[in-house]
Amino acid sequence: AVRSAGETGQLYGSVSTRDIADLLTAEGFSINRNQILLNQPIKTIGVTNVAIALHPEVEVTVTLNIARTADEAERQAKGETLTTAEAIYGDDINDNARPENFFDPNTEFEGGEDNA
């Protein structure tokens, strides 16, 4: 399912049992939202397993791929996580976030230990 989301993967809205039932119906399955076993709506992008009760004794699990674009859905299907800092800001995030880039390790701290 393609949905709008922020850069951290938080959806603008959520994916509910009704949305999942509509997606499955569009694919030719006869499922109503009461058959979808979802404790709470899905609020982030990613690959999520959802249980569906076909009969009181028969349950199946479907995998939903919720992404911002079809390209991101393909990347997620290959196992890539799009909500990590590296995915959001680039591979060099760890190199740029080193303490020595912000602080001089040779500088002495002036002041006492009791800062209460």
The whole-number average pLDDT for the span 1-20 is 88
Whether 2 is in a domain gets the answer no
- Strand ranges, E, within the chain: 10-15, 36-37, 42-44, 46-55, 58-66
pLDDT digits (tens, 9 = 90+) for 56-69: 999 999 999 999 88
Cβ count within 10 A of residue 6:
12
Q: Quick one: pLDDT at residue 96?
A: 60
* Structure confidence at residue 10 (pLDDT): 87
Instruction: List the domain range (segments joined by +) for residue 41.
Output: 10-101
Count of the separate structural domains present in the chain: 1
Q: Is residue 30 in some structural domain?
A: yes
State the pLDDT at residue 94.
Answer: 57
Give the mean pLDDT of 67-95: 75
Assess if residue 33 is contained within a domain. yes
For residue 112, being part of any structural domain is answered with: no
Q: What are the Cα distances from residue 67, in Å, to 111, 113, 116?
A: 50, 49, 48
List, in order, residues 6 or more apart from 51 with CB less than 8 Å away: 36, 37, 59, 60, 61
Q: What is the CATH number of the domain that holds 70?
A: 3.10.430.100
Provide the whole-model pTM.
0.66
SS3 at position 23? helix
pLDDT confidence bin for 109, thresholds 50/70/90: low
